[in-house]
Amino acid sequence: MKDEIIKDDALSTEIASLRETLRTLRSPGGCPWDRERTLDEMISFLIDEAYELLHAEKSGDADHLEEELGDVLFLIVFIHELMLERRKTLLSEIAARAHEKIIRRHPHVFGNTSAGNETESLAEWERIKKAEKGDAGGGGLLSSVPSNLPPLRRAFALQKKAAGAGFDWSGYEGVIDKMHEEIEELRHAVESGFRMHVQEEVGDLFFTVVNLARVLNIDCESSLERTSDKFRKRFGRMESMAAARGEDIGSMSLDEMEALWQKSKESE
């Protein structure tokens, strides 16, 4: 049985009300901060809020997730309002264009082609996208990946694009072997003392780890964020244990700190 479709008849009314509030904020008698914002600034804020939305999803707090989604929605309306000052394109027209594109790029659902799995679906999407853009992108398949993405996301996007064209590992084992190979190359680079070579090999190792995360279907940014949080908590417990003994962790030897680190781990 299909999931019940939830209707939201109040959506258009709430969006219109939100827009009116925004226009009040940007009016001569409104808020100076909102009035002075630029399109570039608001797009940057949208990126920040998207990360906060991701963090809220990982927290498992439904109310927090809804709040952050609301912030993203407000910024989208804000950005469109700024766009209206340059070109009178209605939000409904933008939504309609996006809707039409989604249908056009899913002929295996709304047309007469077929896709039996995710790989075939992505290949169909890329084929249609490439046909739409022609040679405008210049530089081939990977040129469509924005160069200003955060480094981990850009690495992931490049690898995913290449994998969609069939340039991929047959399994995670090959990536792990490659990772060990990169570690050895990094070791040799460090021993050579040539800093630029070391930097290059560190980048290669990062790139391979991102590839491993992709092959294992792990979000590399979320995984790294979780590990960073774990490290912060463990180090905080180390500081607390040291303080309970009347000691400053900064004055301890490495062996003493390692002993506290192990105790901090065991407490989990």
Backbone angles phi, psi at 159, to 5 degrees: -65, -40
Question: In the numeric block, which tokens belong to residue 80?
Answer: 């469109």
Backbone angles phi, psi at 105, to 5 degrees: -90, 5
Alpha carbons 34 and 22: distance in angstroms, whole number = 8
Final residue before a domain boundary, out of 104, 125, 155: 104
pLDDT given for residue 16 in this prediction: 94
Predicted TM-score (pTM) of this structure: 0.64
Considering only CA atoms, which of 95, 91, 94, 93 is closest in space to residue 16? 91
For helices 62-84 and 39-59, the axis angle rounded to 10 degrees is: 170
User: How many distinct structural domains can be found in the chain?
Assistant: 2
**Is the Cα dihedral 218, 177, 160, 117 positive or negative?**
negative
Alpha carbons 240 and 237: distance in angstroms, whole number = 5
pLDDT given for residue 139 in this prediction: 64
SS3 at position 85: coil
CB proximity list for 33: less than 8 A, separation 6 or greater: none
Is 137 domain-assigned?
A: no
Is 228 domain-assigned?
A: yes
pLDDT along the chain (268 residues), means of 10: 71 93 95 94 92 87 95 96 91 94 92 86 82 66 84 92 88 96 96 94 96 93 89 94 92 93 90
Question: In the numeric block, which tokens belong to residue 203?
Answer: 């980048």
Is 119 domain-assigned?
A: no
Is 165 domain-assigned?
A: no
Range of the domain at 258: 222-266
76, HSE (Cβ side, Cα atoms, 13 Å): 13
Is 258 domain-assigned?
A: yes
Alpha carbons 76 and 261: distance in angstroms, whole number = 45
DSSP state of 6: P
Final residue before a domain boundary, out of 104, 124, 145: 104
**Which residue carries 């047959």 as its tokens?**
170
Torsion of CA 149, 150, 151, 153, to 10 degrees: -80
Is 246 domain-assigned?
A: yes
Is 130 domain-assigned?
A: no
Whichever domain contains 67, its CATH number is: 1.10.287.1080
pLDDT given for residue 1 in this prediction: 38
pLDDT given for residue 64 in this prediction: 94
Final residue before a domain boundary, out of 84, 104, 124: 104
Length of the chain: 268
Is 98 domain-assigned?
A: yes
Can you point out the beta strands (E) in the chain? none
